């Protein structure tokens, strides 16, 4: 199935031209989001090429009567492609998203029923409010209301639901989302894959437990909450995705608060270290 999907995408690319992104629309999207505007001219140029390929390969659909216009599609594409900027040339980088085609955009928060494992083999069903969801080998679902929030506030909080869900997709490249994505060869200069994996697991496990403990103290005892979305405390996969969105949206603050994770994510995504942008 994966081979057929890749073949189909290549065939479609031959008969459908890559769209040209109008300059006025491109500038509008960049200027609205501080972390995109802060990119260098070279990074913006590559992001534009990646975004065009992304729009070429993906199919957008609106739910509950929502019409996904060009601005909305480009806003999603540009943010989804930020993690790909240093992952090789555009065609190789965009292949990290070749396991799906569909992107479903809801006008507001989504309500879904999910199984919750409570230990001792007990499973219960709960209704959950979702701003986005990434399915393994399936579509990405997003809430436009969550995407279109105040960009300045999102920059201060280091949040992007688009980056969050697409980093789940990257995490899923070697199986279900678990916070342990496939690491590139020579990760952080470590030649042995097993040693690289060990270094990743040790750092992230320790950071996750530290974060959970800090969130618990903030909720129970009123202590100052750590700077990261508290949703990251629910599971290692969510902690990874929350860290990724903060890394890309507010790199300076993230590197200050979580230097060990900044180093890990810079190695995973091949981003420069130290950060070039605030």
CATH class given for the domain over 178-278: alpha beta
C-alpha angle with apex 104: 102 to 110, nearest 5 degrees? 145
pLDDT number for residue 30: 96
Query: Is 70 exceeded by the pLDDT of residue 17?
Result: no
Provide mean pLDDT across the span 159-168: 98
Please give the pLDDT value at position 11: 47
How high is the pLDDT of residue 8? 47
Q: Is the pLDDT of residue 99 over 60?
A: yes
Q: Tell me, what DSSP letter sits at residue 205? A: H
Return the axis-axis angle of helices 161-171 and 70-81, rounded to nearest 10°. Answer: 50
Sketch the domain layout of the chain as residue ranges. 1-155, 178-278
CA 73, CA 84: separation in Å to the nearest integer?
Answer: 17
25-34's contacts with Cβ under 8 Å and 24+ in sequence apart are 25/70, 25/71, 25/74, 26/74, 28/71, 29/71, 29/74, 29/75, 29/78, 30/78, 32/75, 32/151, 33/75, 33/78, 33/79, 33/151, 33/154, 33/155, 34/151, 34/152, 34/155
Strands 102-106 and 110-119: unpaired
pLDDT digits (tens, 9 = 90+) for 171-227: 999 888 999 999 999 999 999 999 999 999 999 999 999 999 999 999 999 999 999
Residues 6+ apart with CB under 8 A from 274: 255
Average pLDDT on 96-120 reads: 80
Query: In whole angstroms, how far apart are CA 191 and each of 32, 187, 195?
Result: 41, 7, 8
How far is residue 157 from each of residues 114, 149, 261, measured CA to CA in Å?
A: 27, 12, 17
Superfamily in which the 1-155 domain is placed by CATH: Glucose-regulated metallo-peptidase M90, N-terminal domain (1.10.472.150)
Each residue of 29-56: b (16+ CB within 10 Å) or e? Answer: bbeebbbbebbeeebbebbbbbbbbbbb
At 113-140, the pLDDT tens digits run: 655 555 566 655 566 778 999 999 899 9
Task: Give percent of the chain with pLDDT exceeding 70.
Answer: 86
Nearest to 108 by CA among 133, 141, 144: 144
Query: Is 138 exposed, middle or buried (CB count within 10 Å of its CB: 0-12, 13-18, 19+)?
Result: middle
Sign, CA torsion 213/178/273/153: negative
């Amino acid at each position: 199935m994966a081979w057929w999907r890749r073949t189909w995408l290549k065939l479609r690319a031959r008969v459908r031209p890559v769209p040209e992104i109008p300059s006025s629309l491109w500038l509008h999207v960049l200027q609205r989001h501080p972390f995109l505007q802060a990119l260098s001219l070279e990074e913006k140029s590559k992001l534009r090429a990646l975004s065009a390929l992304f729009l070429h390969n993906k199919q957008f659909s609106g739910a509950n009567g929502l019409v996904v216009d060009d601005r909305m599609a480009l806003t999603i594409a540009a943010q989804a492609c930020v993690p790909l900027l240093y992952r090789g040339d555009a065609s190789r980088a965009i292949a990290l998203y070749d396991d799906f085609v569909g992107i479903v955009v809801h006008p507001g928060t989504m309500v879904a029923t999910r199984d919750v494992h409570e230990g001792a083999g007990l499973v219960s069903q709960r209704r959950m409010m979702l701003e986005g969801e990434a399915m393994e080998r399936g579509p990405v679902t997003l809430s436009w209301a969550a995407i279109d929030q105040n960009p300045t506030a999102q920059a201060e909080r280091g949040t992007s639901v688009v980056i969050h869900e697409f980093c789940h997709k990257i995490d899923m490249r070697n199986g279900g989302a678990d916070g342990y994505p496939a690491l590139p060869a020579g990760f952080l200069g470590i030649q042995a894959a097993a040693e690289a994996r060990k270094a990743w697991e040790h750092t992230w496990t320790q950071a996750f437990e530290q974060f959970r403990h800090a969130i618990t103290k903030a909720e129970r005892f009123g202590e100052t909450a750590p700077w990261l979305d508290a949703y990251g405390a629910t599971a290692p996969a969510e902690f990874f995705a929350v860290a990724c969105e903060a890394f890309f949206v507010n790199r300076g603050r993230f590197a200050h608060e979580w230097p060990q994770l900044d180093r890990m994510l810079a190695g995973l995504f091949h981003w420069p270290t130290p950060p070039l942008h605030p």
